[in-house]
Structure 1
Amino acid sequence: MPSALARKAAPVTAAGIAFALALAVAPPAAAIGPTASVRVKVTGGAFTASVGTGTEARFVFGGFYCAAGDGSPTPLTALVDADERFDFGVQARWDAATQDFVVTSIHGDFADDSKKWNAYVNEKKIKTGPCGTAIKDNDKVRWTLEAPKK
């Protein structure tokens, strides 16, 4: 009789495992906001790159959500996506004064008192923070390590 119970329990266990596996391979949810295919270029330091990547508004560095006011991707999400795909070694910190991120290093090229990482979209320097500037398909995003203009 104990073997009959074991046989009855086995299909339930197998069904439970099959159900759990089905949940584990469920397709990812659709993107919430707009997506963009962009070119990301890095210049100004020893490391230079120019790559194409897709991006969308998303969580970055420690779980902060980065999106422009309309939910669009940003120069920072594009840089983070390029970093994840091509290993740029991006580092950033949260700046409480601007309520946005400041890129501190890309591939070992560090910002300091004499130079900082600036973002450009279609060759125009952004005027808001890198999480506050919207980008769209076919934009060219450039991050350049440069001395501040005086």
Structure 2
Amino acid sequence: MATTTSRQRQGAATTGGINNTLYVNNLNDKIKLDDLKPLLFELFASFGPVLAVYAGKGQSRRGQAFIAFREASNAALAMKTLNGFPFLDKPLRVAFARTKSDVVARADGTFKPRRRGAKNGQAPKPKRRVTVNVPKAAEGEEA
């Protein structure tokens, strides 16, 4: 029976395999995004052409980023080299992203547009409508 580590349970290290996109977490969340993105680009560009660097603004996205490479071999080399690398006073955790980034999918012709709010290509659940029965005013009464 296989055992899983806490890191695998969190989804940081297990993916479907080699991918052009890397998931990076354990970033210093005190650094502004405008400063962080160029630093990440410069660090990862030393391993090959970087197509895009995504870092979220929301509280749940802080400390994480996605790096999209043109070639999967460059992403693999960057992951192997930079996993645990001290960056802005914290060791980076680098893994392959679970899915291909949109910029990579567009480049290789496999892009499928998704609706906003959809996860893993699924349509979001429709919002539940609540109807309220309002009694009609009796004849002769004004509402």
Normalised by the size of structure 2, how large is the TM-score? 0.26
Q: Higher relative contact order by CA 8 Å / sep ≥ 6: 1 or 2?
A: 2
TM-score (norm. length: structure 1)? 0.25
More strand by share: 1
